[in-house]
Amino acid sequence: MRRIVQKSILTGLLSVVASLGLSFSIVPFLGGQVAGAGLFMTIFCPLAISIPASALHFTQSEKVRRAEAAAKEALQKLADAYEALHLQSRTDGLTGVLTRSAFLEALNVASQKGASGALLFLDLDHFKTINDRYGHATGDEALRRTGQILARYQSQSDFSGRLGGEEFGLFQNGLTFDEMLARCEEVREDVARIVLKASSGSQVRISASIGALYCPSGFDPSNSLKTADDNLYRAKALGRNRVVA
């Protein structure tokens, strides 16, 4: 409000200066004289008209500016909420990795962009037994810790997801076949190092079976998923806690 008053007064003073300038230029030219009531009106009228008019104008302008700022802030909050909701819809709430649908979508995009690398399917061994013996809280913690391990192997072009239950997927762009084998063993060993503490106080160790596939540039996502899944079940059939690639 103070700024509006100051700007209105300044506008009024400028109006008076303009009025005096015109009066002292035109009135003498017409043979008149600026004095007395004429001089008073030359000063008073611009002040009486311009100050209220400019105050109204500046007030409305300030209201518009504030409304625009509020609208901009509301739009930003809406965009942030949409982005958060979009991220939430793509992220598994328990493990923090992608949901199954988001993982499959990312795999399709990687294929379309000509990516090549390693596709890993990971399944926690005897997960039902862990839930039944130690409780679902311990099982959830096993899933959370596994998701954290997979997230550590991600970069801008890599992604991991929870494909359902205790099954996870990891795609690592740019790995060779030998690098893929080494990475599979790293992940398997990382999971095997997890030690959980059940509500009973017991320590619970877990392990994972991994089925892996090297995906060349232009790989077919559907066939690759099936092959990696078949390799995973071979790893489990061969005794679990191992890699089949």
Residues marked as catalytic = 166
Interior CA angle at 76 toward 74 and 82, to 5°? 105
For residues 184 and 177, is the Cβ–Cβ distance under 8 A?
A: no
Q: Is the C-alpha dihedral spanning 29, 34, 38, 39 positive or negative?
A: positive
- Which contiguous run of DSSP H or E holds residue 8? helix 2-29
Q: Considering only CA atoms, which of 237, 200, 223 is closest in space to residue 123?
A: 237
Non-local CB neighbours of 192 within 8 Å, separated by 6+ positions: 205, 206, 207, 208, 241
Rounded (10°) angle between helices 2-29 and 36-90: 140
Q: Other C-beta atoms within 10 Å of 83: how many?
A: 10
